[in-house]
A and B are shown apart, each in its own frame.
Chain A
Amino acid sequence: MAAAVKNAKAIDIASSRRAQTASNAVRLTVTYVFLFVMAVIVIFPFYWMVISSLKTFDEYRENVPTLWPRTIVFENFGTAFEKASLVDLFLHTLYVGVVSTVLSLIVTVLSAFAFSRLEFKGKNALFGLLMATMMVPGELYTITNYLTVAGKLPFFDEAVSWLDITNTFAVLIVPMLVSVYYIYLLRQTFLQIPNELYLAAKVDGTSDFKYLWKVMLPLSVSTVITITILKMMGAWNSYIWPRLVANDDAHKLITNGLRGASFVTETNETNYPAQMAAVFIVSIPLFLVFVFLRKYIMRGVSRSGIKG
């Protein structure tokens, strides 16, 4: 491969004209300017979150928002720690996030494999049905699912108490394990992997599972990471469901804890600076995970040599 690159470069140089170099420079400049502008736009809310956490409540409440805090205060961070039991919230969220991500990945990988590589009766119908479940506004699911986890089954007048799993970690994890979005995403990636590899493996007598583990997964690492990030973020941002099914202090998750009354002033106004400070604190670990995982997304490149 390195040789090919060298070769290509040699040819490139040989046929290069000055005009082309110039246009390349322009193209590169345009690319950087474009990326820079988009980056500024995209990062603005993050910036806002940070500066809001440094403002006093009075400054935040002013009718003209300031782009940079007039007086920088750090007391919001103190308030954040004091008002919300951040450590507990964080540990709960981490637990739910990690467990549900791992389990969800297993379920997703297995299903995506079946949908992309295996043939079985009713495959298209089932996949269509899966897609259909994405098309109904989620709130109606929430209501029915709430009744299910509370043990309130159809045709029963009373809730069955031993089926009631509200206020457990399981109820925060299990109903959310299957995401059709992720199955679909991974299926798309799997479909990109040439089928010849699979057939060759079959001839070698490699089992489906081994093929999935040894070939498909390493080739799809960037998608798997994407799903991991999204799933983790899901745990970090989920709000409506946790509030409904596990609102006790032993299971409360971060967004729930932060949005709850902890940051409400006595006149029922949200103390946004303190809330932003709390949100900022809990985002840091996630951000670090992110920076760390970025390398692995890039790793997809070096492995792609197997293809073609």
Chain B
Amino acid sequence: MTDKRNNPKAWLYLLPAVILLLIFSFYPLINTFRMAFLNGYNGLAIIGGEKFTFGVENFRTVINNVDFKLYLRNTVLLCVLTVPISTVLALLIAVALNSIKPLQKVFQTVFFLPYVTNSIAIGMVFNAMFTQVGVGDLVQTYGIINNIIGLFGAEPINFVNTGSSWGANMFVVCTYIVWHALPFKILVLLGGLQNVNKQYYEAAKIDATSKTRTFFRITVPLVSPMLAYVVITSFIGGFKEYSSIVGIFGESMGPAGSSGQMNTIVGYVYNMLPKSNLGNASAASLILFGIILVVTAINGYVSKKKVHY
């Protein structure tokens, strides 16, 4: 296919990227490994002249943390639940957007707007939507979502307040993540769709292929490189979920009374930073790194078989 000879000129193209990556990505990565294997490594203690021994103590501490299993479960579930939903939704929106003529520009602009919305605003909205203000039967507001549910006669649900269940919290966080992820995915997939040659569709029209068939046989394969990209990167991002949970629950990472209920491995890493416990933070990062590596390898293997270039 491609020019099979080894082309040393390629390195010239890569030179700027490689130099910068060496300094600002590979070196920090190596440093993370180093810190993870120095027992009890602390960034401040090192300044204070303390010395650390080599070992796996940090990993032991992380795994023995009373809540580690919960964090791991949250991390995996958030990723597994949100990636498919947001990807499918984004694909549907992108295809729908691409298929209409009138109002297309208006809709496109609307779907772009989230980009110019500051993330603080998104957190504020979620509070207004899901938060009930009040206790027991003395409630000031049940939140917008419960008001809507109430229109259909259903009892209000405790989404994020004290005593709310893990499942309800999970639902809210997943909604937030899907919502947050949509605009980016729509943009990328729409970009991919715009690159698809219209002639394929015309051929399909002539053959009177059904729309569903067209979608699965033409649209999906043609945007498959973009889909692969979106899926792989959002799996990587999904495992590193943190800010969405902070956006809803604040740094307590859970409803009052059960803080940490929604915490993730990255959340644990952040918990370690205020004390500069870089050893534990690095060890937790590497555990996560291992998980993501395996999942990405599987993703890559699947997409190699399925993606059409």
Contact = CB atoms under 8 A, between A and B. Distances in A.
Report if A and B touch in the complex (beta carbons < 8 A): yes
Interface of A: 1, 4-5, 8, 11-12, 15, 27-28, 31-32, 34-35, 38-39, 41-46, 48-49, 52, 63-65, 67, 106-108, 110-111, 113-114, 117-121, 123, 126, 129-141, 143-145, 148, 154, 174-175, 177-178, 180-181, 183-185, 188-189, 191-192, 195, 198, 202, 208, 219-220, 222-223, 225-226, 229-230, 233, 237, 255, 259, 272, 275-276, 279, 283, 286-287, 290-291, 294, 297-298, 300-301, 304-305, 307-308
Contacts of A38: 89, 93, 111, 182
B54 to A, nearest CB: 16
B118 A283 contact: yes
B236 A134 contact: yes
Contacts of B7: 118-120
Q: Choose among A126, A137, A180, A291 the residue with the greatest number of B CB atoms under 10 Å from its CB.
A: A137
Contacts of B79: none
Interface stretch (B62-70, B148-156, B196-204, B249-257): B196-204
B100 interface: yes
Main secondary structure of the interface of B (DSSP, over half): helix
Given A294-B105, A294-B108, A141 B25 contact: yes
B188 A185 contact: yes
A137 B242 CA distance: 10
A46 B113 contact: yes
Contact of B4 (A31, A119, A202, A307): A119
Interface residues of B, number: 109
Contacts of B11: 114, 120
B24 A43 contact: no
B149 to A, nearest CB: 16
Given A145-B24, A178-B17, A188-B226, A300 B191 contact: yes
Contacts of A27: 211
Contact of A233 (B115, B134, B194): B115
A111 B285 contact: no
Contact of A8 (B10, B103, B194, B205): B205
Nearest to B273: A139
B121 A49 contact: yes
B45 interface: no
B291 to A, nearest CB: 9
Interface string B181-224: 01110011011101111111010011010010000000000000
